[in-house]
Amino acid sequence: MPGFEMFGALERAEVQDVLDSGVLMRYGFDGMRNGHWKAKELEKALAARMETRYAQVVSSGTAALTVALASAGIGAGDEVIIPTFTFVASFEAVLSVGAIPVLADIDDTLCLNPEAVEKAITERTKAVMPVHMCGSMADLRPLKTICEKRGLLLIEDACQAIGGSYEGKPLGSYGNLGCFSFDYVKTITCGEGGALITDNEAYYLNADHYSDHGHDHVGSDRGAETHPFLGYNFRISELNAAVGVAQVRRLDDFLRIQEKHYRILERAVAGLEGITLRRVPETGIQNYSFLNFFMPSENLARKSHKALLKAGIDGCFYWYDNNWHYYRKWEHLTGAKSLGPLGGEVKSYLDRLQSQVFSDSDHWMGRNISCLVKLGWNEEEVEQRAAAMHKTLSEVLTTV
Ligand SMILES: *Cc1c(COP(=O)(O)O)cnc(C)c1O
């Protein structure tokens, strides 16, 4: 998936523009910048590509999630439902606005199970945040129906799935707010960066102000601006945004290469007796950043993960044992290991979480293998990899 595999002359030219103008900040200094507004340009390009009215670029994907939650008015004591399989950032973002990240099971999409969401709703629930892990999405229609019926917001963490779609809509644009990450390992990168998209003007204006200390950005004199409410600094620098301006133009090329490589690996794996692919919901189109499949048992999944590594096939993950992506090993979070005290409600939820069991999630995650799809492989490398994966996995399956 990584955009980091493919940057060069185009990105350099955009960064050079910023250096030549001498203005590294995204706001102000109007007279000095020779018309260079990279963050604004990136926002325009993203909104156009994602078919939303607004985009707000910020300093990271985690910042985008935090700003999205804050912009929608989510705060202390509110509950936000997130999946057990995600990146710690979704959990952190909810905590950082004082809200409670309530975990719910995933299903064979490897994303939030709508039935589990329904069970997790309480009178304090304000939002549901599906996370489109490894390039594909949850059953978003049923999630949206639940949200509409219960008066909840649907906030998409699309950090790992930029360029995918559902019901013909770009991922991130399906809910009330959607978030992307442009960190160094995402499909397109700014080095560090992120963005939120929305059609809602009020959320957008909130995000624009909140991510810059509450500045209202009216007029061209920063010193004269007013501050309608509290905000923080989640600004992206012009240097990072410049890299993104070049990368977003290349997104569809990256996706084409990714899909081509994905199809070759998919053919090699899907035909093996006992292996099933992760379910992609009807009308859903992945961004093809990972090939995800299920082995017949946890034991065989562990074995195949080891065998793939031993055969020199890099980039295959067994997330079940990973302490970034699956709640089971989030000891620092479930153990409430914060530097200062956490709010009482948050702390008591984390205490309860320690003894909670998510057996449906364990069922899918325990059998899942997830292999990164790279852009930089040549045709021969993909074919060799596919053949080696086929051979290794069939050996594991036949030595039962
Ligand atoms: C990468 C990622 C984030 C956070 O993005 P950063 O830019 O690294 O802060 C959030 N959610 C998911 C699912 C991610 O993969």
Listed in sequence order, the residues at least 6 apart from 147 whose beta carbon sits closer than 8 Å to its beta carbon are: 128, 153, 154, 175
CA–CA separation, 1 and 6 (whole Å)? 10
Q: What is the DSSP letter of 60?
A: -
Please give the pLDDT value at position 2: 66
**Cβ(370) to ligand 1 under 6 A?**
no
- Nearest C-alpha neighbor of 84 from the set 130, 141, 125, 153: 130
Strand order in the sheet with 165-166: 169-170, 165-166, 284-285
Helices first, then strands: H and E counts in the chain: 13, 14
Q: Are 286 and 135 in contact (CB under 8 A)?
A: yes
Please give the pLDDT value at position 392: 97
Positions in the chain short of pLDDT 70: 1-2, 400
**Cβ(189) to ligand 1 under 6 A?**
no
CA–CA separation, 119 and 139 (whole Å)? 16
**Cβ(183) to ligand 1 under 6 A?**
yes
Please give the pLDDT value at position 215: 94
User: Residue 134: what residue type?
Assistant: C
Distance between Cα 21 and ligand 1 center (Å): 31
Q: What count of Cα atoms within 13 Å lies in the side-chain half-sphere of residue 366?
A: 11
Q: Which atom of ligand 1 is nearest to the CA of 183?
A: 7
Please give the pLDDT value at position 1: 55
Please give the pLDDT value at position 114: 98
CA–CA separation, 19 and 391 (whole Å)? 50
pTM of the full structure: 0.97
Distance between Cα 182 and ligand 1 center (Å): 8
Distance between Cα 272 and ligand 1 center (Å): 33
CA–CA separation, 225 and 46 (whole Å)? 27
- Nearest C-alpha neighbor of 128 from the set 149, 107, 108: 149
Distance between Cα 203 and ligand 1 center (Å): 21
Residue at token pair 């067994």: 318
Of the candidates 38, 126, 144, 186, the residue annotated as catalytic is 186
**Cβ(90) to ligand 1 under 6 A?**
yes
Listed in sequence order, the residues at least 6 apart from 92 whose beta carbon sits closer than 8 Å to its beta carbon are: 62
Domain boundaries, the chain: 3-250, 252-398
**Cβ(61) to ligand 1 under 6 A?**
yes
* Alpha-carbon distances, residue 324 vs 56, 89, 158, 246 (angstroms): 26, 9, 17, 29
Distance between Cα 85 and ligand 1 center (Å): 13
3-state secondary structure 296-337: CCHHHHHHHHHHHHHCCCCCEECHHHCCCCEHHHCHHHHCCC
Q: Which atom of ligand 1 is nearest to the CA of 65?
A: 10
Residue 186 annotated among the catalytic residues of the structure: yes
Please give the pLDDT value at position 332: 85
**Cβ(289) to ligand 1 under 6 A?**
no
Q: Are 191 and 201 in contact (CB under 8 A)?
A: no
**Cβ(131) to ligand 1 under 6 A?**
yes
Q: Which atom of ligand 1 is nearest to the CA of 131?
A: 13
Backbone phi and psi for residue 196, each to the nearest 5 degrees, phi listed first:
-120, 150
> At the topology level of CATH, where does 252-398 sit?
Aspartate Aminotransferase, domain 1 (3.90.1150)
- Nearest C-alpha neighbor of 53 from the set 200, 175, 244: 200
> With respect to CATH, is domain 3-250 assigned 3.40.640.10?
yes
CA–CA separation, 158 and 135 (whole Å)? 8
Q: Is 364 helix (H, G, I), strand (E, B) or coil?
A: helix
For ligand 1, atom 2, which residue shows the shortest CA distance? Answer: 159
Beta strands of 17-107 (E only): which ranges?
54-58, 79-83, 100-104
Determine the Cα angle at 387 with ends 386 and 393, to 5°.
90
Please give the pLDDT value at position 127: 98
Q: Which atom of ligand 1 is nearest to the CA of 86?
A: 13
- Nearest C-alpha neighbor of 320 from the set 310, 329, 309: 329
Distance between Cα 274 and ligand 1 center (Å): 32
**Cβ(60) to ligand 1 under 6 A?**
yes
**Cβ(86) to ligand 1 under 6 A?**
yes
**Cβ(1) to ligand 1 under 6 A?**
no
Distance between Cα 398 and ligand 1 center (Å): 38
Please give the pLDDT value at position 118: 98
Please give the pLDDT value at position 49: 98
Q: Which atom of ligand 1 is nearest to the CA of 93?
A: 10
CA–CA separation, 312 and 304 (whole Å)? 12
Two structure tokens written together for 306: 């080891």
Beta bridge partners of 134: none
